[in-house]
A and B are shown apart, each in its own frame.
Chain A
Amino acid sequence: MAVKSILVVDNEPYIQEVTQICLEAVTHWHITTASSGQEAIDKAESEQPDAILLDVMMPDMDGLTTFQALQANPQTRHIPVILLTAKVQASDYRRYSEIGITGTIAKPFEPLELANQVAQLLGWTLQ
């Protein structure tokens, strides 16, 4: 049985690490990380993760630009993307869902609930 894999994209290493801890603590998902939009695009293409958790506000290439690049690439357009961001207002949620984002999780997230939220948005079971 293939293990689900998730690519976590955030420019802050400690946020990457905490996200990884929170997901690994209650799931068997395989977590990889990327620190920039470009690295995310490269890894998405080469590793073909089952989903991507993407920060919005990143230097150089922000999350939405990264998402558009992933969508434009036939090899990565099928990968569901969840935004993990502190930049959420009601209008943001609407905008994100209109452009095809699978879901949005507000930061700061509750560490013990993150995996559950991700699983719900993706329709996965935690077991």
Chain B
Amino acid sequence: MKILVVEDDNLTASALATVLGNQTYTVEIATDGASAWELIETFPYDLVLLDIALPKLDGISLCRQIRSHHYQMPILLLTAHDSSHDKAVGLDAGADDYVVKPFDPEELVARIRALLRRGQATAQAVLTWEQLQLDPHSCEVSYRGQILALTPKEYALLELFLRNPRRVFSCSAILENLWSFEDIPGEEAVRTHIKGLRQKLKAAGAPTDCIETVYGIGYRLKPASSPPQRHSGQARDAGSKCAHPGAEAPASSSAEQTLAAIADVWDRFKPRILEQVAVLEQAATAISSQTLTEDLQQQAQQQSHSLAGSLGTFGLETGSQMARSINQLLHCSGWSAAEGQRLRQLVAVLRQTISQAPAALKKSPSVLSTATAPAGDPADEPPLLLLIDSNPSTAAALIAEATHWGLRTELATHLAMAQARLSQLCPQVVLLNACSVDQSGLSDLRRQLPTVPLLVRLLEPAVPLDCQDLAPCVCLPPLSTPAQVLKDVMQQLHQANSIAAKTDATIMVVDDDPHLLAVVRVLLQPWGLHAVTLDDPTRFWQTLEAAAPDLLVLDLKMTPINGIDLCRQVRQNPDWSSLPILILTSCRDARTISQVFAAGADDFVSKPIVGPEFVTRIMHRLERVRLLSNLSEIDRLTQVSTRPKATLDLYKLLRLAQRQGQGLSLMLIQVEPMPALHSPGSAVLRQVGCGLRHGVREEDVVARWSETEFVLGLYGMPKDGQNRLQALLSVLQQDLIAAGFEPVTFRMGVAHYPDDGENLPALYQSALQQSIVLADSLADNLAEQPRDQHSAYHSCANKSDFCKSTSAI
């Protein structure tokens, strides 16, 4: 509970803070009426303790102001005047009670408790959750009668959850409720206290998930296992609105709470909503068998109308649209066979949409667009398909298929509607029905979405659009099935992603079932994913080092070493600890899943594998890794700078060179496999990264530019950089061979600022054009020369020479 003390006398204010703090209240102090008003407008308070004589704005005026703005938290006046007139003025101004100074601490606390109790007219004296009890009078918390020793903040946290049993609190909402304005700590503090509270609850025997984490939003009290109360009752129980607005979080988090509360209603009423769909199913069946009664038709009209009016509010806009189409069909009389079939199809898709709704509910842009989006990782969200189609039945079938492929969908029945929502939706791919758009409309759309794949479904027999003029669009042949259409959509999406990411990925899959591995290879290949499969887990580490995968898929049950153990080993290995890992498992029980995540896996995929799900999960994970990798500064494998980091550093060096009139060398090194060998493995790249890092000065830039390409930026380097780089690479080649690796090909190029270019792209292009292959001569030399001569070669072009030459500049 948070109390605002408005008192200009520091001594009294600090005494009040101590007295109230001892009662576990959170206290904030304002020393004049104006700043108190600012605080009241900004933060939620459960009670205001108000001195009458205040600078800037006196207590009585402030009291009137608070009430005239409909704030209804209790106000307790502190007055030095024990006159009836003063008290009457105060109470008339909207105060609830008064205490005469000098106050007796015990009386003050009792009056505050009474006011807070009155605020929660129907709240229970003792707050309970299953067998957990919190007694606000004694400040005691017990579980099954056993007293818990909580810190004041843990107590306040628990009280907050118990008083608002259905509310999800974000970290910031908790901070605002439980800490005073001057000493709000970081969100980490909330997590620490939550952790402490959970541990104490667990030690007392309470369920560990009593305080639930709501992913991406915050925390809440887990709904008790007793049947849930209706919301209306609960809202008044908490006294949170009508009686006690001060206890509410500010607007920023109220949107999240509203959506969470709506999600809760959805969960509880989903069976009722499916009952409504069942009436539609009965009607559709009766229409097919020509046995529809008037009564059933009316009921079905009523239910479809109700669904059309409600599903959108739960985030299922497409559900509302389908229900509306169903409602229109149900208002016909005399249905053709085709209409009957269309009705059945629409109802079937509606049921599917509702059944799959929890995901749609949380992720629907129609809900989130106007809300504060949860702080989830955007890379976790499936791509959005914007479907522009005026035909409800084809749209319904496509939406169902898209859902199957793990896409989110938004339906616009005409182009103008889609265009109006483009900036809000930001689709990753657009699918249009040719009859819903004309040539100029399509050109407009292309201008609005220059990089998003547009796919147009052509109609038979007429082909109204000239695909030749729509080079950036993909025209799909008439009569494609929804499955074929979605396959094309997914491929376009993937291509767009690959172009964006500029590299395809290697997926290593370990499973002792060779049949499954064969299936996986076939599944991944069309998506540009290179599958490295292994059916013998004892060869895991050699294969991992050689394959250097971007993602690892491990079967859970393998012998002699299972997926969980392998996952743990990978997580403990410093070189591979951040490799994304998916676990394949046929068990989905809570214990297995928790083991999977406890071992450090990022995700799990159920067996038997469902193609679209498997590919989608891998794609999502890779997208996420790419996002993180773009954000990170050090390349995980080679420990040199990432490209984004290096780009910034190179620009800095370039500016310095311009200002100082110095030179700058940009060096490009590509590591290529020798003929007949596989692409360079991770260990080779790691060694190259290490060699380059140690071969230059600390202030130089060393970066992994792409998969097998490195870039060096050396400030002030003289023009013989090419020879020196060649020397460094020959040393690297020697080190690789000495470490037992096969020789690799180095392609190298050097460009100098300002002669070869004045900006980074120009220098890079110049280096690329001037690049030469080194490997042949080096390898030939090495192959022809005896080992002792290698050493001689080494000694004349060693790393220290390179370092000396660069540092001497």
A is bound by B: yes
Q: Which residues of A come within 8 Å of B, CB atoms?
A: 1, 3, 11-15, 17-18, 20-22, 24-28, 30-31, 33, 57, 59, 85-87, 107-113, 127
Interchain Cβ contacts under 8 Å between A and B, 10 examples: A12-B272, A15-B306, A17-B265, A28-B70, A28-B241, A31-B232, A86-B308, A86-B309, A107-B310, A112-B370
B70 and A1 contacting across the interface, CB-CB below 8 Å:
yes
**Binary flags per residue of B238-276, CB closer than 8 Å to A gives 1, else 0:** 000110010000010011011101100110110011000
Is B312 part of the contact surface with A, judged by Cβ < 8 Å? Answer: yes
One of B232, B258, B308 near A111 (C-beta < 8 A):
B258
Q: Determine the interface band of chain B, counting residues with CB < 8 A from chain A.
A: 35 or more
Interface residues of B in 300-316 (CB under 8 A from A): 302, 305-306, 308-314
Report the minimum CB–CB distance from B250 to chain A (whole Å): 11
Task: From A13, A59, A112, A127, name the one whose CB has the most chain B CB atoms within 10 angstroms.
Answer: A112
Is B641 part of the contact surface with A, judged by Cβ < 8 Å? Answer: no
Is B734 part of the contact surface with A, judged by Cβ < 8 Å? Answer: no
Report the minimum CB–CB distance from A75 to chain B (whole Å): 24
Q: A26-B254, A111-B367 are in contact. List 17 more A-B contacts (CB 8 A).
A: A1-B68, A17-B230, A18-B262, A25-B258, A26-B258, A30-B242, A33-B232, A59-B302, A87-B305, A107-B309, A107-B313, A108-B312, A110-B313, A111-B313, A113-B370, A127-B69, A127-B70
A22 and B230 contacting across the interface, CB-CB below 8 Å:
no
Return chain B residues, CB-CB under 8 Å to A110. Answer: 313, 366, 370
Q: Chain B residue with minimal CB distance to A84? A: B309
CA distance A88 to B678 in the complex (A): 66
One of B72, B254, B257 near A28 (C-beta < 8 A):
B72
CA distance A19 to B257 in the complex (A): 14
B269 and A14 contacting across the interface, CB-CB below 8 Å:
yes
One of A13, A85, A113 near B269 (C-beta < 8 A):
A13
The secondary-structure label for the interface of chain B is helix
One of B241, B265, B269, B320 near A108 (C-beta < 8 A):
B320
Q: Which residues of B come within 8 Å of A, CB atoms?
A: 67-70, 72, 94, 230-232, 235, 241-242, 245, 251, 254-255, 257-259, 261-262, 265-266, 268-269, 272-273, 302, 305-306, 308-314, 317, 320, 324, 366-367, 370-371
CA distance A25 to B371 in the complex (A): 13
CA distance A25 to B257 in the complex (A): 8
The secondary-structure label for the interface of chain A is loop
Q: Chain A residue with minimal CB distance to B257? A: A25
Task: From B258, B268, B308, B370, name the one whose CB has the most chain A CB atoms within 10 angstroms.
Answer: B258
Return chain B residues, CB-CB under 8 Å to A31. Answer: 232
Report the minimum CB–CB distance from A69 to chain B (whole Å): 21
A28 and B313 contacting across the interface, CB-CB below 8 Å:
no
Report the minimum CB–CB distance from B62 to chain A (whole Å): 15
A3 and B242 contacting across the interface, CB-CB below 8 Å:
yes
Return chain A residues, CB-CB under 8 Å to B310. Answer: 12, 14-15, 18, 107-108
Report the minimum CB–CB distance from B330 to chain A (whole Å): 13
CA distance A87 to B262 in the complex (A): 23
CA distance A95 to B391 in the complex (A): 30
CA distance A11 to B242 in the complex (A): 24
CA distance A61 to B245 in the complex (A): 36
A22 and B70 contacting across the interface, CB-CB below 8 Å:
no
Return chain A residues, CB-CB under 8 Å to B370. Answer: 110, 112-113
On whether A24 and B306 interact (CB within 8 A), knowing A18-B265, A108-B311, the answer reads no
Report the minimum CB–CB distance from A66 to chain B (whole Å): 16
CA distance A45 to B392 in the complex (A): 44
Return chain A residues, CB-CB under 8 Å to B261. Answer: 21, 25
Report the minimum CB–CB distance from A20 to chain B (whole Å): 6
Return chain A residues, CB-CB under 8 Å to B262. Answer: 18, 21-22, 111
CA distance A3 to B242 in the complex (A): 8
Return chain B residues, CB-CB under 8 Å to A14. Answer: 265-266, 268-269, 272-273, 310
Q: Chain A residue with minimal CB distance to B41? A: A127
Report the minimum CB–CB distance from A4 to chain B (whole Å): 9
A57 and B306 contacting across the interface, CB-CB below 8 Å:
yes
CA distance A64 to B310 in the complex (A): 20
CA distance A101 to B755 in the complex (A): 79
A25 and B68 contacting across the interface, CB-CB below 8 Å:
no
Return chain B residues, CB-CB under 8 Å to A17. Answer: 230-232, 265, 269
Return chain B residues, CB-CB under 8 Å to A86. Answer: 305-306, 308-309, 324
Return chain B residues, CB-CB under 8 Å to A59. Answer: 302
Return chain B residues, CB-CB under 8 Å to A13. Answer: 230, 269, 272
Report the minimum CB–CB distance from A14 to chain B (whole Å): 4
Return chain B residues, CB-CB under 8 Å to A28. Answer: 70, 72, 241-242, 245
CA distance A24 to B254 in the complex (A): 10
Return chain B residues, CB-CB under 8 Å to A21. Answer: 231, 235, 258, 261-262, 265
Report the minimum CB–CB distance from A61 to chain B (whole Å): 13
